[in-house]
Structure 1
Amino acid sequence: MLQQIVSHTPIYVWFILAFLISRGVAASADRDVTMRSLVIIPAVMLVLSWLDIDNKFGVDGVVGASWVVGALTGAGLIWRNFDNASIAYDPASGAIRLRGSWMPLALMMAIFCTKYAVAVLVAVLPAAREHALFVVAVCVVFGMFNGAFLGRLACQLAVCQRAIGTVRA
């Protein structure tokens, strides 16, 4: 069965996996980024997640609310545990220095594996889309993943904002 699942996986999925791995490995090293590049991955993940949820279940009522609850939970967990030393911002040059971390790779792989498993499950058992507990659980988990990205971005932007405030004061 595993061979059938893998052989029926569209080729673009493997390209997405390769891209995510390359981005995650790049994030493991210290690097300088722009404000724009800081926002790109969280924004892309947000849009893709929301479109995927809408495509699989719709985003009305409980589905959308479950995703939002998950997103707020994920963002809150990151906000509470964020390491401010993982980022430095130089307002004069606009350079953002990020300390390398394997967390983005782990998060992207968790999202990929979860999305893959849900896609396989829905393909094999289409009736799963009708089970409220399954739908709510999937939406909360996807929301938590996106919340983690958004929470990390919010923390990074807060560090940058504090650096700008320190320069002005």
Structure 2
Amino acid sequence: MLQQIVTHTPIYVWLLLAFLVSRGIAASRDRVLPLRRVFVIPAVLLVLSVQDMAHRFGLDAAPVLGWLAGASAATLLAWRATAPAQVDRAAGTVLQRGSWLPLALMLATFVTKYAVAVACAVRPDLAAGAGFAATAGALYGVFNGLFVGRALRCLPRAAATPAHINAMS
């Protein structure tokens, strides 16, 4: 059965996995990024989550409310747990410290979405259940919120730090 699942997985899914792994490995090293690039992975994962929820469950109350609860809690958690970023307003850049956490979160997001897809393919009746839809939505929301909360930590610093101070450091 596992072999059938893997062989019936569309090629674009494996390409998405390769993209996420490459971005996760890049995030393991310190790097300076344009401020707008900090939001690329959170935006990609948000679009993929909303698309998956709409496709599998419809945008009904259960998955959407699950997503909102998960995303809200995780955004707040990530906001509190993430150190403020070093922002150079004059250059419009952010120094992101290397961490393996983004790779782990991207892989967890991928595995969750893959597991939901396989579960719905094997047992199509699961998609009709509000509990399954809410749980899947909540998990998607948690992962989205963790990425969004981390990215948002760059904004207050960018808005509050005078450009001439960052230029001198």
- Do both share a fold (TM > 0.5)? yes
- Is 1:72 paired with 2:72? yes
8 Å contact kept, 2:64–2:134: no
Selected match of 1:103 from 93, 101, 104 = 101
Over the residues paired in the alignment, what is the CA RMSD in angstroms? 1.7
Helix, strand or coil for the counterpart of 2:153? helix
1:129 lines up with 2:127 in the alignment:
yes
Question: Structure 1: any 5+ residue segments left out of the alignment?
Answer: none
Residues 1:48 and 2:52 are matched in the alignment: no
Partner SS, residue 29 of structure 2: coil
Deviations 1:119-141 (A, max 9, x none): 00000000001222111111111
Q: C-alpha offsets along residues 104-153 of structure 1, whole Å, 9 cap, x if unaligned?
A: 10110000000001100000000001222111111111111111111111
Q: Partners of 2:47 and 2:113 in 1: how far apart? A: 14
TM-score scaled by structure 1? 0.92
TM-score (norm 2): 0.92
Query: What's the counterpart of residue 12 of structure 1?
Result: 12
Three-state SS of the structure 1 residue aligned to 2:32 is: strand
Q: Tell me the equivalent position of 2:22.
A: 22
Structure 2: where are the runs of 5+ without partners? Answer: none
Identify the residue that residue 160 of structure 1 maps to in structure 2. Answer: 158
Q: Partner of 2:110 in structure 1? A: 112
Q: Distance in 2 between matches of 1:6 and 1:23?
A: 23
Instruction: State the shift of 1:73 in Å.
Output: 0.9
Q: Deviations over 1:62-82 (max 9, x none)?
A: 321111111101101101211
Number of residue pairs matched by the alignment: 166
| Greater displacement, 159-168 / 146-155 | 159-168
- Residue 167 of structure 1 and its aligned partner are, at CA, apart by 4.6
Q: Deviations over 1:5-57 (max 9, x none)?
A: 11111111111111110000001001010012111111111111111111110
1:160: Cα distance to partner?
A: 2.0
| Equivalent AA in structure 2 for residue 110 of structure 1 | A
